[in-house]
Amino acid sequence: MAANGPKCTAVDCDDANKSLKDPINVAVTGAAGQVAYSLLYMIGRGEAFGKDQSINLNLFDVNSMMRSLEGVAMELEDCALPLVNNILLAPDVETCFKDAAAIFLIGSSVRIEGMNRKSLFQASVPIFKEQAEAINQVALKDVKVLVLANPCNTNAYVCSHYATCIPKENFSALSRLDHNRTKVQIARRLGIPAQDVQNVVIWGGRSGTQFPDIRHATVSYNGVLQSAVSALADEKFLQNTIVTSIQKRNPAILAARKLASAMSQAKAACDQMHDWWNGTRRGEFVSMSVLSDGSYGIPKDIFYSFPVQIRNKKWRIVKGLPIDEFAREKLDASARELVEEKEEALALCEEVDVDQGGTLTS
């Protein structure tokens, strides 16, 4: 049956006559994996780079996953996403990172049961060395690199160590999942939407020592903007419940789903890149693992999650938040762990450099 009146497709109606910006190259490794499966769709919907930013998706995974990656690309095509200009299945990381404006590093050796942290590093250092050297050679010099693959803080350190032509500020590791989880815990407790909770802080690394801190958070509650601490009025929740519930969230999801969290991780990656790309809202700060400049007494030169504000694609650590004794202990414990991890990774970098007959890149 022929319809009367002007033709209007869904795209015309939603984004009335918006003209698209020239495409940028966005690279994703581990692109046949679980997290990428959700993330690629979100990027294609404009949730990281904006609803008017056209995108070339450059996807990489190991050879044995190429067939599966073809399937992911077919599905992406079938989504008919207006922002996706091109999908490239890259045969190597150099092709994947060519002229990339943004890179999500998701793929790495996966921790197998019984594998200790040292063997995980032994597997991941050469991978991140190779990827960093490729980024160095072929990505745009102002590329933004977000590392998801665990241990993400130290993997980000290794990448920034080897990508000597790219400013270290252009690397970050993901701490937004725990940030989002903390917001949701507060929101559920108060019966308000998550967007009414702001300025929680995740301090440290992605491990048991990480500290979700709600002392600086604000909530819109009963029509009033107030501190989350006074709205919650529950010291036990503040000191213990929230910390342990965030720490137990991954095992809880794994036990229920028989698979690790993936959709929420992808959404968090999108949120972190979105704010890096577009800036944070006035008065708001978000958690992001970035290179420490010594703020809050945290040793310099480790990737550590801090509160940041972002303008013009540059983050700045929010200074001067009061740190009480309880928080101090937590901040320092996570810093000690990350310093130790970095030293282990650096020792492995030296071994890898010697094995490969190169010299240290310092």
Ligand X SMILES: NC(=O)c1ccc[n+]([C@@H]2O[C@H](COP(=O)([O-])OP(=O)(O)OC[C@H]3O[C@@H](n4cnc5c(N)ncnc54)[C@H](O)[C@@H]3O)[C@@H](O)[C@H]2O)c1
Biggest CA pair distance of the chain: 73
Q: Does 266 bind ligand X (CB under 6 A)?
A: no
Query: Is 22 labelled a binding residue?
Result: no
Residues 6+ apart with CB under 8 A from 266: 35, 36, 37, 38, 39, 42
Query: Which position among 42, 83, 106, 197 is part of the footprint of ligand X (CB under 6 A)?
Result: 106
Query: Is 111 labelled a binding residue?
Result: yes
Identify residue 260 by its one-letter amino acid code.
A
Q: Does 150 bind ligand X (CB under 6 A)?
A: yes
Q: Does 177 bind ligand X (CB under 6 A)?
A: yes
Query: Which position among 25, 53, 54, 108 is part of the footprint of ligand X (CB under 6 A)?
Result: 108
Identify residue 76 by its one-letter amino acid code.
L
CA atoms within 13 A on the CB side of 145: 32
Q: Does 204 bind ligand X (CB under 6 A)?
A: no
Residue 175 or 292: the one with the smaller Cβ distance to ligand X is 175
Q: Helix 152-162 to helix 117-138 angle, to the nearest 10 degrees?
A: 40
Q: Does 122 bind ligand X (CB under 6 A)?
A: no
Query: Which position among 85, 122, 207, 250 is part of the footprint of ligand X (CB under 6 A)?
Result: 250
Residue 279 DSSP class:
-
Pick the piece of the chain touching ligand X (CB under 6 A) from 72-80, 102-110, 234-242, 326-334. 102-110
Q: Does 265 bind ligand X (CB under 6 A)?
A: yes
Residue 106 or 318: the one with the smaller Cβ distance to ligand X is 106
CA distances from 49 to 132, 146, 176, 303 (A): 23, 14, 17, 24
Q: Does 198 bind ligand X (CB under 6 A)?
A: no
Q: Does 212 bind ligand X (CB under 6 A)?
A: no
Q: Which two tokens stand for residue 178?
A: 């725990």
Least Å from the CB of residue 259 to ligand X: 8
Name residue 26's beta-bridge partners. Answer: 57, 102
Query: Is 301 labelled a binding residue?
Result: no
Beta-strand pair 286-291/303-311 = antiparallel
Q: Does 260 bind ligand X (CB under 6 A)?
A: yes
Pick the piece of the chain touching ligand X (CB under 6 A) from 29-37, 209-217, 239-247, 301-309. 29-37
Least Å from the CB of residue 121 to ligand X: 13
Q: Which element (helix H / strand E) includes 354?
A: helix 325-355
Residue 109 or 227: the one with the smaller Cβ distance to ligand X is 109
Residues 6+ apart with CB under 8 A from 34: 259, 260, 262
Q: Does 32 bind ligand X (CB under 6 A)?
A: yes
Least Å from the CB of residue 30 to ligand X: 3
Query: Which position among 26, 35, 72, 139 is part of the footprint of ligand X (CB under 6 A)?
Result: 35
Residues 6+ apart with CB under 8 A from 60: 27, 28, 29, 30, 31, 89, 90, 92, 93, 95, 96, 107
Question: SS3 of 336, please?
Answer: helix
3-state helix, strand, coil in the chain (%, to 5): 45, 20, 35
Q: Does 262 bind ligand X (CB under 6 A)?
A: yes
Least Å from the CB of residue 118 to ligand X: 16
Contact 311, 279 (CB under 8 A): yes
Least Å from the CB of residue 187 to ligand X: 20
Residue 34 or 247: the one with the smaller Cβ distance to ligand X is 34
Question: SS3 of 316, please?
Answer: strand
Which residues of this chain interact with ligand X, rule CB under 6 A?
29-30, 32-36, 60-62, 65, 106-110, 127, 148-150, 177, 206, 250, 260-262, 265
Residue positions forming the annotated binding site: 61, 111, 117, 150, 181
